[in-house]
Amino acid sequence: MALNELYLTLCKLESTYPEAAFIVAGDFNKANLKTRLPKLYQHIDCATRAGKTLDHCYSNFRDAYKALPRPPFGKADHNSILLLPAYRQKLKQEAPTLRSVQRWSDQSDSTLQDCFHHVDWDMFHRAVTNNDETAYREEVRALGVWCQENNLTLNVNKTKEMIVDFRKQQREHPPIHIDGTVVERVVSFKFLGVHITDKLNWSTHTDSIVKKAQQRLFNLRRLKKFGLSPKALTNFYRCTIESILSCCITSWYGNCSAHNRKALQRVVRSAQHITGGKLPALQDTYTTRCHRKAIKIIKDNHHPSHCLFTPLSSRRRGQHRCIKAGTERLKNSFYLKAIRLLNSHH
């Protein structure tokens, strides 16, 4: 009766998980599982009690283990058996090492976004004046020389040049050379997870993150099918989907087209339908991040952009001087948006 029940259970498991490994171990005093399941292999080939092999261990892999007899535990009447895997480990064994891992904090997004502000773009901005690129090319040449003098290798194959020129009469720009190799000129490149184009539009970036987010919506649907609670689904959304949609959002969302914003919000609505709860709109996330980032810059006197937030007279406490914008692109940029938000809160 017991063997029949065990036989039915194993048959059901094998049909459900045909590629799984099954191990059956026990004290088979008056039974032999090989009579019912001939496809299983017995790995204990030594005596376990009174010169007889009463303890069996079966699996569906031939010669998977090597049995070594050991003394009995305490006053037990049968020997203990040590089963060693017979298969050699394919992975290289290394000595254990102790490493300290730094966890991301709640301010990690802001820290990464600071990388944009600490890049010395003025070095190249000052170098090109009156269509004279001599100083700019000299800066690039000096960079290559500095790398050689400091035993650094500059990978020219991964170095890209992108020209942002909005003039109506554009002229041909000769290529840049580093160590005699021409630097590839591109119309877009990925910097700190953000796709930047020479037209400074964000269609390429939004298309990329929407595609990534939609792939993770499949995982969210699977988790709901498995019966996870709405709270757990919301946490999964915030960790794997919202983090993608809102990465460096203060840098690009303000100049997104209406079409791109609808595509982004469509992902949020799909996730909201799956989780069954209210999720923050990306516009609200963008506004919150801009305000929080502006407060952080104002409090940091050493921030490169601290001088852009100029407070007005004492009679208008909490107000900041607005920056004049000649284009819609500048008007919708982070700094002007942040100043308007700060002034609207007072």
In the chain, the percentage of residues whose pLDDT exceeds 90 is 10
Structural domain ending residue among the three candidates 186, 215, 232: 186
Q: How many CA atoms lie within 13 A of 206 on its CB side?
A: 23
> What is the band of 207 on the pLDDT scale with cuts at 50, 70, 90?
very high
Residue 146 belongs to a domain: yes
The answer on pLDDT for 346 being more than 70 is: no
SS (H, E, C) 253-315: HHHCCHHHHHHHHHHHHHHHHHHCCCCCCHHHHHHHHHHHHHHHHHHCCCCCCHHHCCECCHH
Q: How many domains does the chain have?
A: 3
Residues 43 and 158 in one domain: no
Identify residue 324 by its one-letter amino acid code: K
DSSP strand pairing (160-161 vs 184-185)? parallel
Residues 147 and 255 in one domain: no
The answer on pLDDT for 209 being more than 60 is: yes
Identify which of 179, 299, 305 has the alpha carbon closest to the alpha carbon of residue 251: 305
Residue 266 belongs to a domain: yes
Residue 111 belongs to a domain: no
Q: How many helices (H) and strands (E) does the chain have?
A: 12, 11
Residues 214 and 336 in one domain: yes
The backbone region for 242, taken as left when phi is positive above 0, alpha when psi lies in -120 to 50, beta otherwise, is alpha
Residues 313 and 221 in one domain: yes
DSSP strand pairing (41-42 vs 65-70)? unpaired
Helix (H) or strand (E) holding 62, with range, is none
Residue 192 belongs to a domain: no
pTM of the model as a whole: 0.57
What pLDDT, on the 0 to 100 scale, is given for residue 48? 78
Residues 40 and 123 in one domain: no
Three-class secondary structure of residue 189 per DSSP: strand
What pLDDT, on the 0 to 100 scale, is given for residue 314? 62
Residues 214 and 329 in one domain: yes
Structural domain ending residue among the three candidates 137, 155, 186: 186
Three-class secondary structure of residue 177 per DSSP: strand
**In the predicted model, what is the mean pLDDT of residues 281-294?**
89
**Range of 37-51, 94-108, 154-168, 188-202 with top mean pLDDT:** 188-202
Residues 273 and 317 in one domain: yes
Residues 242 and 326 in one domain: yes
What pLDDT, on the 0 to 100 scale, is given for residue 136? 79
User: DSSP labels for 2-58?
Assistant: HHHHHHHHHHHHHHH-TT---EEEEE-SS--GGGT-TTSEE---S--BTTB--EEEE
Residue 8 belongs to a domain: yes
pLDDT tens digits for range 229-278? 889 999 999 999 999 898 888 888 888 889 999 999 999 999 999 988 88
Q: What angle do CA 93, 96, 100 make, to 5 degrees?
A: 135
Structural domain ending residue among the three candidates 186, 218, 233: 186
What pLDDT, on the 0 to 100 scale, is given for residue 119? 56
**Are 59 and 21 in contact, with CB atoms under 8 Å apart?**
yes
The domain containing residue 290 runs over which residues?
203-344
pLDDT tens digits for range 94-129? 777 887 776 666 666 555 555 555 555 555 555 566
What pLDDT, on the 0 to 100 scale, is given for residue 84? 81
Rg for the chain, CA atoms, rounded: 33
Residues 42 and 130 in one domain: no
> What is the band of 89 on the pLDDT scale with cuts at 50, 70, 90?
low
The backbone region for 5, taken as left when phi is positive above 0, alpha when psi lies in -120 to 50, beta otherwise, is alpha
Residue 90 belongs to a domain: no
Residues 242 and 279 in one domain: yes
**In the predicted model, what is the mean pLDDT of residues 166-178?**
80
Residue 261 belongs to a domain: yes
